[in-house]
Amino acid sequence: QQQVKQSPQSLIVQKGGISIINCAYENTAFDYFPWYQQFPGKGPALLIAIRPDVSEKKEGRFTISFNKSAKQFSLHIMDSQPGDSATYFCAASKGSGNTGKLIFGQGTTLQVKP
Amino acid sequence: GAVVSQHPSRVICKSGTSVKIECRSLDFQATTMFWYRQFPKQSLMLMATSNEGSKATYEQGVEKDKFLINHASLTLSTLTVTSAHPEDSSFYICSARETPRGSPLHFGNGTRLTVT
């Protein structure tokens, strides 16, 4: 059972454009939703995270939009740059905030063309 | 920021041998560490949760006798792949959370295991 579904699998965006990656979850007990960025041969790095009590969180060029009723959340990368080319994973966990184990989505490979 | 260090970054071993991977939290204490496995172009799959001073909790389908986990201190967890086979070849990544509740999860840079 895939608890966190991520789309699209791959994405190509022109430099300066907006990259949008979507995730949907099933378990309403999830209460922490982070996004990770992974470069080839490296471990994932935390980009931004949100809790279900807010609908949007912005950090620099990265924004998470959260829709609790639809059980969906998305990552928006504004002014996408070639250096943003990487694999992005959404994740979710349950428990007291983010103390639980993370369940990852399938990943999205982003390519930003110069 | 918090740093998680993994060693080695790459290892090649022969089928039937055992390999130990170390995961250290460098500037914080971690009562809980997680071990993930990632196959090429796939997502991270949680293998087990490592708790300092107690037995690890394994996810369904993960052989605890094959993937031995030891979390002997607040800064070190080890994963030993015993009697490795080619199908164990994968990217193994550990992660650790600082002791205070609500702290974010930090990942190591992974270990590429190739079993020949």
Residue A19 has pLDDT above 50, yes or no: yes
Query: CB pairs below 8 Å between A and B: how many?
Result: 57
User: Could you tell me which chain B residue has the CA closest to the CA of A95?
Assistant: B102
- For residue B45 the two structure tokens come to 């799959």
Angstroms from B53 CA to nearest CA on chain A: 18
pLDDT of residue B30: 85
Interval B31-70: pLDDT, tens: 889 999 999 889 999 999 988 888 899 999 999 999 999 9
Put simply, whether B11 touches A (Cβ < 8 Å) is no
Using DSSP, state whether B20 is helix, strand or coil.
Answer: strand
Indicate whether B19 pLDDT > 80.
yes
Subunit contact B105:A98, Cβ cutoff 8 A: yes
**Tens digit of each residue's pLDDT (9 = 90 or more) over A44-90:** 999 999 998 999 999 999 999 999 999 999 999 999 999 999 999 99
Residues B77, B45: Cα–Cα separation, whole Å: 18
With 80 as the cut, is the pLDDT of residue B104 above it? Answer: no
Lowest mean pLDDT among A10-19, A87-96, B18-27: A87-96
* Subunit contact B102:A106, Cβ cutoff 8 A: no
Residues of A with CB under 8 A from a CB of B: 34, 36, 41-46, 49, 89, 96-99, 101-107, 109
**Per-residue pLDDT reduced to its tens digit, B73-84:** 889 999 999 999
C-alpha span between A94 and A89 (Å, rounded): 17
Distance separating alpha carbons of residues B25 and B4, to the nearest angstrom: 5
User: How does residue A102 score in pLDDT terms, banded at 50, 70 and 90?
Assistant: confident
What's the confidence (pLDDT) of residue B101? 58
Angle CA(B95)–CA(B101)–CA(B104) in degrees, nearest 5? 40
Asked if the model's pLDDT at residue A110 lies above 50, the reply is yes
